[in-house]
Chains A and B, each alone.
Chain A
Amino acid sequence: EAQVTQNPRYLITVTGKKLTVTCSQNMNHEYMSWYRQDPGLGLRQIYYSMNVEVTDKGDVPEGYKVSRKEKRNFPLILESPSPNQTSLYFCASSLWYGGGVSDTQYFGPGTRLTVL
């Protein structure tokens, strides 16, 4: 089954304790991205990647890191989480043809993160 998986689905942590949220897709997609969803703000893109070793900042990258060492995986790293990073996080993937993003995004189920 074609899918995007995220782990963990729920996480409660404390300020400053490094954490990683994993994202994996099995559709051989080039484009992968991370979003955070907050009430009244919609989804905001954190980072995106067009292929292995190619990443770039989205609209809200502060406090986050990513890496793309393999095509299928795109982990999100919070090196020193703070309470303002409490949010619902989504990973997504799609085909990419260059010159913008024109293909359907396939979203993971979401990770609800609480930072105390």
Chain B
Amino acid sequence: AQSVTQLDSHVSVSEGTPVLLRCNYSSSYSPSLFWYVQHPNKGLQLLLKYTSAATLVKGINGFEAEFKKSETSFHLTKPSAHMSDAAEYFCVVSSNFGNEKLTFGTGTRLTIIP
């Protein structure tokens, strides 16, 4: 079984300040983990992914995430928020054995305050 919990449904930060979007996961096996972004009225785009290589993963647009197995977490961070980061972010898990499902979190809406 697998599941994802995004701990905040809505995060607001000021432009130029750090961003932290939190994600905890549950997986029976070694997981693959992803962050996707959805801008208003758009489709989804991959930000970054972890697939059992380096635990600190760098993605597009200055985002990064760290896989912490002991904490079952995969939090998304960015040092300095930009107005264009305003969007909805989804954490996604796939267990690397036993099933081919993808499970999405319920999403975190990021608002950037000018």
Please report A residues at the B interface, Cβ cutoff 8 Å: 31, 33, 35, 40-45, 48, 50, 56, 58-59, 90, 92, 96, 99-102, 104-105, 107-110
The answer to whether B102 touches A105, judged by C-beta atoms less than 8 angstroms apart, is yes
CA distance A94 to B31 in the complex (A): 17
A33 neighbours in B (Cβ, 8 Å): 102
Kindly provide the distance from the CB of A13 to the nearest chain B CB, expressed in whole angstroms: 22
CA distance A98 to B32 in the complex (A): 13
Interface flags for B101-114 (1: CB within 8 Å of A; 0: not) read 11111110000000
A45 adjacent to B102 (CB under 8 Å)? yes
Given A99-B96, A102-B32, A105-B46, CB of A48 within 8 Å of CB of B107: no
Which residues of chain B have a CB within 8 Å of any CB of chain A?
6, 9, 29, 31-32, 34, 36, 43-46, 49, 51, 90, 94-107
A40→B44 contact, CB < 8 A: no
Q: Told that A100-B99, A107-B45 touch, could you supply 18 new A-B pairs with CB distance under 8 A?
A: A40-B9, A40-B106, A42-B6, A43-B44, A43-B90, A43-B104, A44-B104, A45-B104, A92-B44, A100-B97, A101-B32, A101-B94, A102-B32, A102-B51, A107-B43, A107-B44, A108-B43, A110-B43
Known: A31-B100, A101-B32, A102-B32. Is A41-B95 also a contact (CB below 8 A)? Answer: no
Within 8 Å by CB of A45, from B44, B46, B103, lies B103
Tell me which of B36, B46, B100 contacts A100 (CB under 8 A): B100
Task: Collect the chain A residues with CB atoms within 8 Å of residue B102's CB.
Answer: 33, 45, 48, 101, 105
CB pair B100–A50 under 8 Å, yes or no, is: yes
Chain A residues lying within 8 Å of B100, measured Cβ to Cβ, are: 31, 48, 50, 56, 96, 100-101
- Report the Cα distance A1→B10, complex, angstroms: 35
